[in-house]
Structure 1
């Protein structure tokens, strides 16, 4: 599925990521955790092509993609929801979704995992808000629109960058079920997150980042144990 091997990346003269490696397998949900400043969002931007990679390589389904522009990586099945969501606020929910659906249909043809109806089933509130302008929605509603839009691109890998940021606890809790239902459709998930509860409940295993490096790869059994222990949780998340 996705293989990141010893990549280095940054901004201008500043190096943020240093020899970072991770893997996401088919039908798997993997978390990347760590404190602010660990380089998690830079990693997301490097994977989806918004930040150039200075060293190492990124492969999707065995094919090197680190030299490809973002739209080519998207065409290979990678969809990302960035922390700022990048929705068209002045357009309606329906239009935001339709724009993605058109692009997704061109890529997937008849092999679509998601349709507008399935997105409305995943996020029931949307049906009554389809003709509302996105900028008038709450933060939680906007996050769900952003996830729905990403899914309509028909990915087999969904990357979520800090999806819980600024959301009410009730909305954050619902994200666990959303991720589970996305996985039922055969989509792998890479969840970059500081919320320990969400990360542990929604994923199978995790990588820990600090100061631009992966400092630990946590297998499933140990992942559950760490998140059940407040002391270990603070140690791993810097909280």
Structure 2
């Protein structure tokens, strides 16, 4: 049984149909990437999974149980964390306070346990450790992205949804970020990644799906997608 399965999922914003029958699956322990141009439906797919965008038809199953009518806050408690595009950290809170907010859906935790878990995040994101007391607004874009991911991991998710984590970051920071994504998977967290940097996404993914105008058009392993002429031409800077 897949950890996550989407079955013929339709979602809309008013009269605009954003997803037109998406079916995909994610196995436990995988990194799966969703590729596609702006407006393809990638972010809507993540928002539908996390309960932020209603599903009008079809179903989403997590560990075999439907999420279709489950509220977003309960989806977090079931083990899905969503790191949205744009980071959305709390600018007036410190790095440590931002990270600690990630535990809010887990009920009251003893301070000693919370401090220990924050230290675990600093092991995964060592650049943040020296910034413990820095306010969110003072961080660079790369540091803010690392902080957003760390906050998401504090909910102890089985599945981490990452939406455009490399957006606006310098190439060297992107390399560090994707090394961290590999590290997150090695710690036992499954990752569903939306990313416009297709080459980088495929370098860490086990499988990928390509979306266009709300439809899935191609799926396969990184090698299969990299060898697909349509995918190369549209997303990888190559092809005939």
Structure 1: unaligned runs, 5 residues or longer: none
* Secondary structure in 2 matching 1:166: coil
Q: For 1:47-95, what per-residue CA distance to the aligned partner results, in whole angstroms no more than 9, with x for missing partners?
A: 1111001000001000001111111111110001000222111111111
- Which residue in 2 is equivalent to 1:23? 25
Structure 2: unaligned runs, 5 residues or longer: none
* Secondary structure in 2 matching 1:8: strand
1:187-198 map, 5 Å: 187-198=189-200
- Which residue in 2 is equivalent to 1:180? 182
Q: Distance in 1 between matches of 2:225 and 2:30?
A: 14
Alpha-carbon distance change, 11 to 232 in structure 1, aligned in 2, over 3 angstroms: closer
Structure 2 length-normalised TM: 0.90
Moved over 6 A (4+): none
* Secondary structure in 2 matching 1:150: helix
1:4-83 map, 5 Å: 4-83=6-85
- Which residue in 2 is equivalent to 1:233? 232
Q: Distance in 2 between matches of 1:126 and 1:236?
A: 32
Cα distance, 1:106 vs structure 2: 5.4
Q: Distance in 2 between matches of 1:166 and 1:63?
A: 36
* Secondary structure in 1 matching 2:162: strand
Alpha-carbon distance change, 181 to 83 in structure 1, aligned in 2, over 3 angstroms: same
Q: For 1:111-137, what per-residue CA distance to the aligned partner results, in whole angstroms no more than 9, with x for missing partners?
A: x9x921121011111111111110111
Alpha-carbon distance change, 214 to 238 in structure 1, aligned in 2, over 3 angstroms: farther
Q: Between Structure 1 and Structure 2, how many residues are aligned?
A: 232
Alpha-carbon distance change, 32 to 90 in structure 1, aligned in 2, over 3 angstroms: same
Cα distance, 1:29 vs structure 2: 0.5
Structure 1 length-normalised TM: 0.90
2:83 is the alignment partner of 1:84: no
Q: Conserved in 2, the CA contact under 8 Å of 1:104 and 1:152?
A: no
